[in-house]
Chains A and B, each alone.
Chain A
Amino acid sequence: MTDPGKELIDRLVRDLRPVPALALERRLLAALGLGLLGAAVLMAGLLGLRHDWAAMMASPVFLVKLAYAGGLALAGAVATARLARPLGRAGAALPTALAIVLVVAAAALLALAEAPAASRRELVLGRTALVCPFLIAMVSMPVLAGLLAVLRRLAPTRPLAAGAAAGLLGGAAGTMVYALHCPETGLPFVALWYTAGILLTTLLGAGLGKFCLRW
């Protein structure tokens, strides 16, 4: 009689391959890279690059957009890598993300206070306030999908939190791509609507994570 337990162990030992250092982080990075590629294709194909992109890239507001989304993406990446392991917790990533949001919100309020009253409405709403959060979420989808696909094969024991972390990283990374299209120039606009787009993607990630990240 063959022992099924022994048989399984034989099979697993035969299947053993060395695991390189930082294998988990590399997989997440690969998913992020592929997702960003997808996001760029989506942005360029459906929305189009800003026509004055060369001049825009040097503009302070564009750099602020990149720095803001980049900071949040970093916090999201740290949280995702930690929550991909059993018992992992987001740790300092969540307060860091909140601090970044608060700093940008404070800067936006300052900018708003200094601006002449007549231009305030334009600074907050711009011309794309209604679509901006949804476009950000849409552009972010390839990144979020790639991250969730990788997370499924890792070992998250908090599916909701892991999904939210992937959503934060995906939303923030997607926002960096979206900034290449976005025609807005107001800091208050960024603080409000970019944040809304990233938050929307984070919530989507949490909801999807709860259902997708079962193993």
Chain B
Amino acid sequence: MFLRPSEHELHCLMVASLDGDGAAYRCLLEALTPLLRAYFRRRLHDDLSAHAEDLVQETLLALHARRMTFDPAFPFMAWVHAIARHKLIDFLRRSRRAVQVPLDDFAELLADPADGAALAGARLDVDALLSRLPERTRAVIAKTRLEGKSIAETSAETGLSVASVKVIVHRGILALRNQFGGKT
């Protein structure tokens, strides 16, 4: 495990780097890399976390190209942090503008009607309506109108004649209509 380098050490390395000391500069950049990596990883989540490494490199490049903006009278890490933060904000602004929602998310939602809260609510309303009907009528209407079974299937399952099933469905719907005054 590496010890986190101190502000004083990094500041000295930076001052030497500004004088053109390549060894100090390499040491500085190698010390900064894991710090920057941790900084960006902490702040980028989910699908953006893959960009942390790019941002580390972009920040190192910016530190290099703009190193004359470092004033040795001020703390070194505050300067690094300001540039890293600027790069992060710039990246987030760019990625928000180009937000892409994968289309299959929508397809999934549409394919499963049980997912829709509105549909679930409608189903509860229908159950409440049916509960007011007599037991046999309710069963027949549920089979023919909700479960999508044919008159013949319903007749076979309930032991009622086809004609009786038709009559029960017709009367049941009429009863519901009378009770709530709605139109079917």
Chain A residues engaging chain B, CB cutoff 8 angstroms: 4-5, 8-9, 12-13, 15-19, 23-24, 27, 84-87, 153-155, 157, 214-215
Is B10 in contact with chain A by the CB < 8 A criterion? no
* A-B CB proximity, top 5 nearest: A18-B20, A86-B82, A155-B69, A23-B68, A155-B66
When chains A and B are docked, how far (Å) is the Cα of A66 from the Cα of B78? 39
27 contacts between A and B (CB under 8 A): A5-B53, A5-B57, A8-B57, A8-B60, A9-B29, A12-B25, A12-B29, A12-B61, A13-B25, A13-B26, A13-B29, A16-B22, A16-B25, A18-B18, A19-B18, A19-B68, A24-B68, A24-B69, A85-B70, A86-B79, A87-B82, A153-B65, A155-B69, A157-B82, A157-B86, A215-B62, A215-B86
Q: How far is the CA of A99 from the CA of B142 in the complex (A)?
A: 84
Instruction: Check if B108 is an interface residue, CB within 8 A of chain A.
Output: no
Q: Is the interface of A mostly helix, strand, loop or mixed?
A: loop
Smallest Cβ-Cβ distance to A215: which chain B residue: B62
- Do A12 and B86 touch (CB < 8 A)? no
13 further A-B contacts with Cβ under 8 Å, apart from A4-B57, A9-B33, A157-B85, are: A4-B53, A8-B57, A9-B29, A18-B19, A18-B20, A24-B69, A85-B79, A153-B65, A153-B66, A157-B82, A214-B90, A215-B62, A215-B90
Alpha-carbon distance between A198 and B60 when the two chains are bound, in angstroms: 38
Q: A16-B17, A86-B83 are in contact. Are A8 and B61 (CB under 8 A)?
A: yes
Instruction: Tell me the complex Cα distance, A17–B65, Å.
Output: 11
**Interface size class for chain B?**
20 to 34
Docked-complex contact A5 and B20, CB < 8 angstroms? no
| Residues of chain A contacted by B8 (CB below 8 angstroms) | none
CB-CB under 8 A for A86 and B18, given A13-B26, A214-B90: no
User: With A12-B64, A16-B25 in contact, is A87–B78 under 8 Å at CB?
Assistant: yes
Q: Which residues of B contact A153 (CB under 8 A)?
A: 65-66
**In the complex, chain A residues whose CB is within 8 Å of the CB of B83:** 86, 155
Listed in ascending order, the chain B residues whose CB lies under 8 Å from chain A are 17-20, 22, 25-26, 29-30, 33, 53, 56-57, 60-62, 64-71, 78-79, 82-83, 85-86, 90
CB neighbours (8 Å) of B33 from chain A are 5, 9
Complex partner residue of B69 from A8, A12, A154, A214, CB under 8 angstroms: A154
Chain A: which residue is nearest B90 at the CB level?
Answer: A214
Contacting residues, chain A, for B26 (C-beta < 8 A): 9, 13
- Taking CB atoms, residues of chain A closer than 8 Å to B71 are 85
Complex contacts, B64 vs chain A, CB 8 Å: 12, 15-16
Chain A residues near B90 (CB, 8 Å)?
Answer: 214-215
User: Which residue of chain B has its CB nearest to the CB of A87?
Assistant: B82
Q: In the complex, what residue of chain A is closest to B94 when comparing beta carbons?
A: A214
Q: A9-B29, A18-B18 are in contact. Are A85 and B69 (CB under 8 A)?
A: yes
Which chain B residues border A27 with CB–CB below 8 Å? 68
When chains A and B are docked, how far (Å) is the Cα of A86 from the Cα of B78? 9
Cβ–Cβ contact B60 & A9, under 8 A: yes
CB distance from A149 to the nearest CB of B (A): 14
State A101–B17 Cα separation when bound (angstroms).
43
Q: In the complex, which residue of chain A has the Cβ closest to the Cβ of B84?
A: A86
Which A residues lie within 8 Å of B85 (CB)?
A: 157
Chain B residues lying within 8 Å of A23, measured Cβ to Cβ, are 68
- Decide: B68 and A154 in contact? CB cutoff 8 A: yes
Residues in A with CB closer than 8 Å to B60 are: 8-9, 12
Q: Report A-chain residues with C-beta under 8 Å of the C-beta of B56.
A: 5
Q: How far is the CB of A214 from chain B (nearest CB, A)?
A: 7
Residues of B within 8 A of A4 (CB): 53, 57
